[in-house]
Structure 1
């Protein structure tokens, strides 16, 4: 690992937004350290394999040794971005679930709404999920565990809904994966300034998701679910 260059600042390798989230519906502008912000833009424009550490350093206005000192390599940049995004959505989803207390329909609606809001407000970082194929085996395993935690949260809600006779699906795990895949796909078409706001997209996807699980009744509209 290269030594820190004289006079250069060290930034956190993996920013942790999770400890500062009080409102799971509230999204401040994405505030990444300069190196990660540069890496994000390079990955979005050129893909992981089309980006070099030198490209990131040039865009960030830092030296190449500085990046190696803080992140070890290009893989470290991707890991920091992917894990940071997944940690944020998981934290928000847990807050959304807890806010609904034990009301299954509200829990389900909250979590779907939360995930879609993340895919719109954080489309830049959430859209990097497709680059997980570029992760080395150990890193892929750790990232997959984070994704699995979100999947298990939604799956647990669906299974409870089935037990209470509120939902009707043939295979809860497949339904869960299909719903999360549908939400993830939002990053492929949503863009800021489009015809729909993040909240409007989330409301539509909540309605689609409720129909997908065969919900026999509907929760109160968003904003009156608490």
Structure 2
């Protein structure tokens, strides 16, 4: 038998290499039936409460057929985590690349992107709490991918702080605190509620901007996101 990571690499879902033309547009995840079934069952019953047989029954295949594609339940969890995170990284890169060199615009785009992903991909985002069930190899692999988001955020914060636009006590700590705030959305957000993902993202851009000490003038500009930032001199 191959090890857990080999199983993930061999059967990684095509969505792991997602390519999207618009980071704000979310269609359904391009998951295989097995991974779709696993995602739904993990979301409904938790990783520990879900058996391989339950996933097989949801998908409509036999247990041996499921094992043909994935070595074990952990391999399915690892594949889902990697697939979703690669989509998040792709969208985050596009959100930053679409903006100008202005750190405020980059910051706003990245915050918007992350909140949209947390809400539109709620089932996947909820899997982050199941990381403890991964072995050390899979956990380190996922952590390395997730580090890219933290680094992207910290780089923007560092640039803005150096230019006197942001006021942060510590770039790394601030980035981690904000990312934790976004991740916590999955614990309370209701897709059937009155607040759309887009409206929530708009609100969180303002909340996050206040957390990094932007001026009221810039906050007003963020509300409209039109034209050149009024206090921009660089």
Question: Do they superpose with TM above 0.5?
Answer: yes
1:37 aligned to 2:36?
A: yes
Summarize the Cα distance change of 1:220–1:210 in structure 2 as closer, same or farther, 3 Å threshold: closer
Equivalents in 1 of 2:18, 2:132: separation in Å? 28
> Do 2:158 and 2:171's aligned partners in 1 also have CA atoms closer than 8 Å?
yes
What are structure 2's unaligned runs of at least 5 residues?
Answer: 2-9, 229-234
Secondary structure of the corresponding residue to residue 24 of structure 1: coil
> How far is the alpha carbon of 1:46 from its aligned partner?
1.5
Q: Does 1:210 align with 2:219?
A: no
Query: For the structure 1 residues 166 and 223, does the alpha-carbon distance in structure 2 shift closer, same or farther, using more than 3 Å as the test?
Result: closer
- Contact 2:118 2:125 (C-alpha < 8 Å) held by counterparts: yes
CA RMSD of aligned residues (A): 2.0
Q: Contact 1:13–1:71 (CA<8 Å) still a contact in 2?
A: no
Instruction: Tell me what 2:55 maps to.
Output: 56
**Partners of 2:107 and 2:146 in 1: how far apart?**
17
Tell me what 2:5 maps to.
Answer: none
CA contact (8 A) 1:100 1:225 kept: no
**Deviation string, structure 1 residues 107-158 (Cα, Å, up to 9, x no partner):** 0000000000000100011111110111110000000001111000000000
- Distance in 1 (CA, whole Å) between partners of 2:19 and 2:85 is 15
State the aligned residue count.
218
In structure 1, the partner of 2:84 is 85
- Post-superposition shift, 1:172? 1.0
Would you say 1:108 and 2:117 are equivalent positions?
no
Cα distance in 1, alignment partners of residues 157 and 116 from structure 2: 20
CA contact (8 A) 2:18 2:87 kept: no
Q: Cα offset for 1:29? A: 2.2
Structure holding more helix per residue? 2
Please, which moves more after superposition, 27-36 or 130-139?
27-36
Unaligned ranges ≥5, structure 1 = 2-10
Instruction: Show the counterpart of 2:138.
Output: 139
Question: How is 1:4-43 mapped onto 2 (pairs within 5 angstroms)?
Answer: 13-16=12-15, 18-43=17-42
Q: Distance in 2 between matches of 1:191 and 1:197?
A: 9
2-structure distance, mates of 1:87, 1:189: 24
* Shift of residue 18, structure 1, vs aligned partner: 4.3
Q: Give me the whole-angstrom Cα distance separating, in 1, the residues matched to 2:227 and 2:180.
A: 25
Q: 1:41 offset after TM fit, Å?
A: 1.4
Report the CA distance between 1:64 and its aligned residue.
1.0
- The CA distance in 2 between the partners of 1:94 and 1:225, in whole Å, is 23
- Say which SS state the counterpart of residue 102 (structure 1) adopts: coil
Give the match for residue 199 of structure 1: 198
